[in-house]
Amino acid sequence: MFIEAYKKPVIVTFILLAIFIIIRFIIRKLVIKLGKSNNINIARVRLINRYSTVVLAILFIFAESFVFGIDTSDIAVVFSSVFAVIGVALFAIWSILSNVTSGVIMFFSFPYKVGDKISIHDKDFPIEAIIEDIRAFQLHLRLDNGDLVTYPNNLMLQKAVTLVQKNAIDAEIKDR
């Protein structure tokens, strides 16, 4: 009975699932290729792959709701309720969200790499340091005196940054 009643939606579900898997595979390969060509840390590549998988999963669930005949007005009520709750939650943690968003932007268009020595032009706290790691929420910067500074990703996009020396870690090792 169930199979006969839902034969067409089940077939469409398998087709959508196959499309989802293919698109996910293509996006993963493209992100990995982009990461390798730009010498981006593998942890950042994995993070961007997770973000893209979550977005694709949400789109898959949305498409599935149409396949099984859920009314558009019902979907609108569910999504508006979910987005209202998420909006309130994200407003409460907006700085975290802005850091994650900045991390994604930095993945695709950040001109500096791990190992580069940069200067951040901040009137209150100027920094000249080597980029040790680029994470989802912050950068790890190593000062000349050996101190580790974590600097939020969103501030990296708001402040002027100058490249002092490319691959400063390699140059520092050669000097020893």
CA distance 96 to 98: 5
Among 147, 102, 109, 154, which Cα is nearest to 129's? 147
User: Taking the model in full, what pTM does it have?
Assistant: 0.56
Residues 139-162, mean pLDDT to the nearest whole number: 90
Give the tens place of pLDDT for each residue, 98-132: 888 888 888 787 788 888 899 999 888 888 999 99
Burial class (CB in 10 A: 0-12, 13-18, 19+), 141: buried
Q: Which positions ≥6 away from 74 have C-beta within 8 Å?
A: none
CA distance 29 to 139: 25
pLDDT of residue 24: 94
pLDDT of residue 169: 63
